[in-house]
Amino acid sequence: MKIVDLLNKNSICLEAKAADKAEAIRKAVDLMNKSGNIRDIKAYTASVLKREEEGTTGIGEGIAIPHGKGTSVAAPGLSAMVLPEGVDFDALDGEPVSLMFLIAAPETKDNVHLEVLSRLSMLLMDDAFTVNLRRAKTAGEFLDYIEKAETAKFGKAGEESKKAGGDGYQILAVTACPTGIAHTYMAAENLENKAKERGITIKVETDGSGGVKNALSREEIERADCIIVAADKNIDMARFDGKPVIVTKVADGIHKADQLFDRAIEGSAGIYHYSGKGSEVRDSNEGESAGRKAYKHLMNGVSHMLPFVVGGGILIALAFLFDNYEINPANFGMNTPLAAFFKTVGGQAFGFMLPVLAGFIAMSIGERPGLVVGFVGGVLASGGYTFSNLMNYSEAAQVSSGFLGALLAGFVGGYIIELLRKIFDKLPASLEGIKPVLLYPVFGILMMGVFIIGVNPIVGALNSGLNEFMASMSGVSKIVLGIILAGMMSVDMGGPFNKAAYVFGTAQLTVAEAGPEQFQIMAAVMIGGMVPPLAIALCTTFFKNRFTENERKSGIVNYVMGLSFITEGAIPFAASDPLRVLPSCIVGSAVAGALSMLFECGLRAPHGGIFVIAVISNPLMYLLALVTGSVVGALLLAALKKPKV
């Protein structure tokens, strides 16, 4: 159904004035009533206002599309208003609304209002179109602009519905981020909400920390018109062979859903061709840079490593909490049965950190055969084996390359498998079955063993030098390190900078004979990630006039997110106003990180937020640093943001 079929001159007002949102809606309803589409004007008005309570229909850029549906509507219709002076509509961008469309839809199964919403949303993304509507001198001119734009965008009546098969576009999506904590589900929710607004049928598979949810079936993939993969880690792509696929970052699923849907509907997505790597993520239209590929391989290892690090690290921290230092200082953490239990179990789990990291980086590059090669490389790197100590191996003779060695083993292991694939491609087809179970493991482990044992002394020396440098830091240099690491946690809130700082902090916990300096680094990293959500929560609580009603409601959730060390809770605010939110959060995090270092707060656990406060050294000063950084961030944000009119 075309927009111009639902709109007539009697339901258009080009010089409207309204004191507030409610008055603007009432005037738009009166215009709708003139077209004869409303049975019960009171009930219809109530349905529109109820929809606004669920979330504003002020979509930004001075545009609002309120709508109501029910038995109070006799026939589908539209009314339109231009408000030259603007009206506060609690819009997503906080700007006043000057162009407004009201939709009326009867209680039917065809969801006509969603179809109209979809068309309107796409047309209103064109700035030139909206400028013409605001400048229209007569209702007839207003309608002419719409008809021309609609014809240019969608063609003649019936073409789009034919392409869509009569039921809207069938789109599938997959969202995945390295940690699978927040970005994965935020992207999925945004894609689903945007699809609902535009009348698009969608199903979203999430590949999060709890595994794959809402998995796409083979039948659904076959019927799909397009597939959107918004992922920052590798997923199974073989199933999409021969389908139009759009591959992008998970952040685009959060911030650029409309653009992704436009590409899908316009048919500009490239056809994906499976290259023999089941986990490859690559758009046939857009080649990925080497840096982004390396980042995704690294994040695949990190995402699988984190459960071992977090679970094992917290249990180790509990061992020190329940132990008695006075019994035997040299054996602290193992002096009591309960402490020994936590330390043993946690230590075993934590010990898998480096092999798992290396194994899944290698698997991301070389698929399943890469897992064993990378895993063995991680064990050899962690164990510190060299050609000089193989015959007389002992703890004293270890030259552990640690975290750096495991990273190297992961990437080298993956590319060893790639090399072996090319070499063994020349073998007869009859030997294809023995490659993954015999040839790849044997030759891959052999090559990895020679490589990592050979480089362990070099990387181990580099690792030792870095650790000695950390241990030597004191005073101003230590505080500067805290400022940098904590600030990085706020730069992109779950992106590469955030992950780099967090991985660096957790790596310090793996250092043999880790001392107070390493634990202080982890404490500064965690406090830097806790501040952004807390600063936003405080600002929405004490400076309410800087935020819309929906933002104030979301701000309350950030108290829980911040205290739980889930930095991603601040993302919606940062996305809507990055120039004010990001600097405020970075400064607040940097202040908290500096104070944490100054107070010499240490943390043996790599996660947990407020729930591991008992295992933090100098816990009261740590809380003081957290509160101070959060307050600084909140005050700076309040100073930068202007009060809403």
* pLDDT tens-digit readout, 261-316: 888 887 777 788 766 544 444 443 345 567 777 877 888 888 788 888 888 888 88
- pLDDT reported for residue 533: 92
Helices marked H in 275-331: 290-321
Residues 6+ apart with CB under 8 A from 462: 401, 404
| Class of residue 128 by CB neighbours under 10 A (exposed 0-12, middle 13-18, buried 19+) | exposed
Structural domain range at position 325: 292-468
Tens of pLDDT, residues 426-453: 888 777 778 888 899 999 999 999 999 9
Query: What is the arithmetic mean of pLDDT over 521-549?
Result: 91
Q: Residue 551 CA to chain centroid, in angstroms?
A: 19
200 plus 257 within the same structural domain: yes
pLDDT band at 500 (very low <50, low <70, confident <90, very high): confident
| Chain centroid to CA 462 | 33
Residue 273 lies in a domain: no
The pLDDT value given to residue 280:
44
In-domain check, residue 409: yes
Express each pLDDT in 18-52 by its tens digit.
988 889 999 999 988 887 778 888 888 988 888 88
Assess if residue 275 is contained within a domain. no
Q: Are residues 354 and 316 in the same domain?
A: yes
* 388-399 mean pLDDT: 75
72: domain CATH number? 3.40.930.10
Report yes or no on 148 lying in a domain: yes
Beta bridge partners of 205: 174
Task: Give the residue among 212, 216, 215, 222 at the shortest CA–CA distance from 244.
Answer: 222
Using an 8 Å Cβ cutoff, are 413 and 374 in contact?
A: yes
Same domain, 131 and 242: no
Q: Compute the distance between CA of residue 246 and CA of residue 283 in angstroms, rounded to an integer.
A: 6
Give 617's DSSP letter: S
Average pLDDT over residues 46-65: 83
Residue, of 598 and 462, whose pLDDT is higher: 598
Domain shared by 143 and 206, yes or no: no
Number of domains observed in the structure of the chain: 4
**Range ranked top by mean pLDDT from 103-107, 142-146, 545-549, 637-641:** 637-641
Residue at which a domain ends, from 468, 488, 521: 468
Query: What is the torsional sign of CA 433, 439, 442, 448?
Result: negative
**Of the residues 417, 438, 468, the one at which a domain ends:** 468
Q: How would you classify the pairing of strands 97-105 and 67-69?
A: parallel
d(CA 50, CA 575): 27
Give me the percent of the chain exceeding a pLDDT of 90: 24
* CATH code for position 204: 3.40.50.2300
Question: Residue 185: its pLDDT value, please?
Answer: 75
Is residue 78 in some structural domain? yes
Report H helices in 41-91. Answer: 41-54
Shared domain check, 224 and 148: no
Query: Is 162 a member of any domain?
Result: no
Q: Same structural domain for residues 41 and 59?
A: yes
* Strand (E) or helix (H) holding 499: helix 496-509
- Verify that 348 and 458 share a domain, yes or no: yes
pLDDT (average), residues 105-119: 63
Boundary-marking domain end, from 231, 248, 266: 266
565 and 603 co-located in one domain: yes
Catalytic residue IDs? 67, 177
Q: Does 278 map to a domain?
A: no
Mean pLDDT of 472-491: 85
Q: How confident is the model at residue 213 (pLDDT cuts 50, 70, 90)?
A: confident
Verify that 181 and 72 share a domain, yes or no. Answer: no
Note whether 36 and 127 are same-domain residues.
yes
Please list, residue by residue across 577-615, b when 16 or more beta carbons sit within 10 angstroms of its beta carbon and e when fewer do.
Answer: beebbbebbbbbbbbbbbbbbbbbbbbbbbbbbbebeeb
Instruction: Please determine, for residue 571, whether its predicted confidence score (pLDDT) is greater than 70.
Output: yes
Judgement on whether residues 557 and 598 belong to the same structural domain of the protein: yes
Rounded average pLDDT over 340-364: 90
Do 101 and 182 lie in one domain? The reply is no
Rounded to the nearest integer, the mean pLDDT of the chain is 83
Q: What is the pLDDT of residue 182?
A: 60
Provide the percentage of residues in the chain whose pLDDT is more than 70.
Answer: 89
The Cα 451–Cα 640 span in angstroms is 54
Classify residue 434: in a domain, yes or no.
Answer: yes
Q: What is the pLDDT of residue 430?
A: 75
Give the length of the chain. 645
Within its chain, how far is the Cα of 631 from the centroid?
A: 25
